[in-house]
Structures are given as structure tokens and as C-alpha cells.
């Protein structure tokens, strides 16, 4: 798994730094200049300016001809056949073609393990990015979430675990069917990747 949490959005909206700083209730977010190019990136850590204990960095990559963002989108499209459900692959093909920007949150797991507040803080920041610009999520190279932040695609390697809020697309109606899938259960995992909706998955989501 690569150490990136991404938000891919069709919006051109910029995110005010103050909003991310407010979201990091148990840490700090600040801006740093890129050393060898124009622009800057954001840093998430325990205290402003403490570069020795960085938990995560955030970069905004526009998607357009010849950009890094466009290269990433092309790579993501090429790997959709490594997982499922099939309906999500088809939906993602269309969605990814319309993405205008990628917010790439690089996490540093070894450093985060040293602080019990790091994971919560990075997740708070990631959730705020999603709330402001919308879009879909990509968790490393193992899963995608839809605009409601529910898992819709999973890599066949089965690196995700536990009870997970998910959704399967009904291609007839164009609506997402909310489910909760136990990814530790082989039968449920295979059903999800194949695009099959088991009654137990729907029942959990309705409780």
C-alpha cells in the first residue's frame, strides 16, 4: 500500500488554511514552501514548525494536460481491473475522467505511531478536505470511496479489514445501495468484490 490518502474532486474550490487548522483539534497545520519549485504544501504535526515529527503533508495537484494530476488519474484508470465491484469500475472510469484536482495527503505511519493523537488529527483534516471540496476518496492503492465516503471499490488483495460502511451501485437506477460489509468474512468480501448484495449486508446498514 502506498502511504497516501487522496481526495479527488471535480471542484476548483480552494480550501482556506484556517479551516484545516480548526479541524486539527489535537495538532497543527501550517504551510511550507516547496524547496525546488514554485508553490507550497501543508504540513500536519504536533506543533507549528516542528518538522522533526511531521505526521502528514498535503499537496493540491491540479488535473490538466501534462500535469502530475493527469498522470495519476491515468495510472488509477489502468488499475481498476485489479478489484471490484464491476459496476464501481465503470462508474469510476467516468468519474475519474472529470476530476479537476487531487488532494494528496501523504502520511508517515512510523511517526504517527509515536503519538496517540496523530491518527485522529490526520483523519480530521482529511474529513474536512472532503467536506469542503466534495469528491471521492482513494485509500492508498486498496480502496475507493464514493461522494458519501462509503467504500465502493476494493483491491482483490484484501488488505482492508473489519466492518466497513460500503455501497454498491445499482446501474439500473443509478443509485447507491448502502451496505455494511464484514471484510474479514471471505464470503462477504468475495460477494462485495463481485458486486453481489447479500441480505445481511443490507440489514446491517438499516439497523
Question: What would the pLDDT profile of 129-182 be if each residue is shown by its tens digit?
Answer: 999 999 999 998 889 999 999 999 999 987 788 999 999 999 999 999 999 999
Examine residue 161 and state whether it is found in any structural domain, yes or no.
Answer: no
Q: State the total domains in the chain.
A: 1
Q: Is 20 within the bounds of a domain?
A: yes
Out of 107-116, 128-137, 145-154, 198-207, least confident range: 107-116
Domain carrying residue 134: 4-150
Q: Helix, strand, coil shares of the chain as percentages rounded to 5?
A: 35, 30, 35
Q: What is the pLDDT of residue 116?
A: 85
In a domain, 118, yes or no: yes
Within-domain flag for 205: no
Q: Is the sign of the CA dihedral 177, 98, 156, 68 positive or negative?
A: negative
CA dihedral 56, 181, 163, 134 (to 10 degrees): 30
Does some domain include residue 78?
yes
Is the separation of the CB atoms in 42 and 31 below 8 Å?
A: yes
Write down the pLDDT at residue 35: 63
Phi, psi of 184 (to 5 degrees): -80, -15
Q: Does any domain span residue 109?
A: yes
- Any domain includes 69: yes
pLDDT at 195 over 90: yes
Determine how many CB atoms are found less than 10 A away from the CB of residue 12.
9
pLDDT given for residue 39 in this prediction: 60
Q: State yes or no: pLDDT of 2 exceeds 80.
A: no
Evaluate whether residue 132 is within a structural domain.
yes
**Residue pLDDT, tens place only, 24-59:** 999 999 998 766 655 678 999 999 988 888 999 999
Amino acid at each position: 500500500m502506498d502511504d497516501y490518502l487522496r481526495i479527488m474532486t471535480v471542484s476548483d474550490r480552494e480550501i482556506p488554511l484556517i479551516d484545516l487548522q480548526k479541524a486539527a483539534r489535537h495538532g497543527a497545520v501550517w504551510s511550507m514552501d516547496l524547496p525546488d519549485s514554485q508553490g507550497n504544501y501543508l504540513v500536519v504535526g504536533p506543533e507549528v514548525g516542528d518538522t522533526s515529527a511531521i505526521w502528514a503533508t498535503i499537496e493540491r495537484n491540479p488535473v490538466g494536460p501534462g500535469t502530475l494530476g493527469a498522470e495519476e488519474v491515468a495510472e488509477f484508470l489502468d488499475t481498476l481491473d485489479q478489484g471490484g465491484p464491476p459496476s464501481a469500475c465503470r462508474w469510476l472510469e467516468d468519474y475519474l475522467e472529470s476530476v479537476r484536482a487531487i488532494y494528496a495527503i501523504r502520511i508517515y505511519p512510523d511517526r504517527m505511531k509515536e503519538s496517540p493523537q496523530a491518527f485522529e488529527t490526520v483523519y480530521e483534516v482529511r474529513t474536512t478536505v472532503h467536506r469542503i471540496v466534495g469528491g471521492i476518496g482513494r485509500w492508498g492503492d486498496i480502496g475507493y470511496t464514493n461522494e458519501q465516503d462509503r467504500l465502493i471499490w476494493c483491491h482483490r488483495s484484501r488488505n482492508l479489514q473489519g466492518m466497513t460502511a460500503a455501497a454498491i451501485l445499482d446501474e439500473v437506477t443509478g443509485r447507491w445501495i448502502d451496505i455494511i460489509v464484514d471484510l474479514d468474512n471471505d464470503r462477504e468480501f468475495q460477494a462485495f468484490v463481485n458486486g453481489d448484495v447479500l441480505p445481511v449486508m443490507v440489514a446491517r446498514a438499516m439497523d
